[in-house]
Amino acid sequence: MERTFAQLRETLYSAVVADACDQFGLRNQSIQLSLPPQTTTGVMIGRCRTSTWEDIFSEDPSPYELELKLVDSCQTDDVVISAAGGSTRSGIWGELLSTAASNRGCAGVIVDGAVRDVQKMRAMEFPVFAAARCVYDSCHRQRVNSIDEPVEVGGVTICSGDIVVADEDGVVIVPQAKSDEILAAAWDKVHAENVTRDAIKEGMGAIEAYEKYGVL
């Protein structure tokens, strides 16, 4: 990738990346679920690390085993994807996992389910996007049953290595095979939008600006 993730976070946002996906015929890359930011309001961009969760109703002989393995294997700029099928049986992500993940350079987490310790994670400024909150611990309630396998969240298939862009507008997944081209197109569109915006601020009409710059 020509630009660092830090540079991408300073410039890109979910809507412009979704537009770039459209340009390449990938018109269904935005997760169609409400996964609002729980702890920060900025843009989270990183490399996906996937996990699937299941509800359990008996004592787990090895609680936390796979989730800890995933966190300890995270690398700088990874984003943990926790596909829990929307379950709110427990808060599967909290302060301690955030601390461990942050120490590994993890850029954040997306949880299709519930989280807890929100105030403490907010104080850490660790990006967390989640469907809900729940005070219960995951032990003997939910567990990870796979890591780094393709998952489906809100109609979008996500694989480890894909790029995720998330902010207050939504969550967009960029397939790894097309990520360089799509992110470059999004970068170019941001700068074209800036030119268009400046022209409109200076008095150019919206129709004229669109006809001249082709950006909306």
How many angstroms separate the CA atoms of 209 and 198, rounded? 10
What six digits make up the tokens of 121?
Answer: 């994670």
**Cβ proximity of 126 and 98 under 8 Å:** yes
Q: By the 8 A CB rule, do 135 and 49 touch?
A: no
- CA dist., res. 144 & res. 7, Å (int): 32
Q: What is the DSSP letter of 64?
A: T
Residues 6+ apart with CB under 8 A from 209: 196, 199, 200
Residue 67 · residue 51 · CB < 8 Å: yes
Asked if 56 and 87 count as a contact pair (C-beta separation under 8 A), the reply is: no
- 117: annotated binding-site residue? yes
Q: Does 116 belong to an annotated binding site?
A: yes
> Percentages helix, strand, coil for the chain, rounded to the nearest 5?
35, 30, 35
**12 labelled as ligand-binding?**
no
Does 94 carry a binding-site annotation?
yes
- What gap in Å lies between CA 214 and CA 204, rounded to an integer? 14
Residues tagged in the binding site annotation for substrate:
94-97, 116
List, as residue ranges, the binding site for Mg(2+).
117
Residues of the binding site: 94-97, 116-117
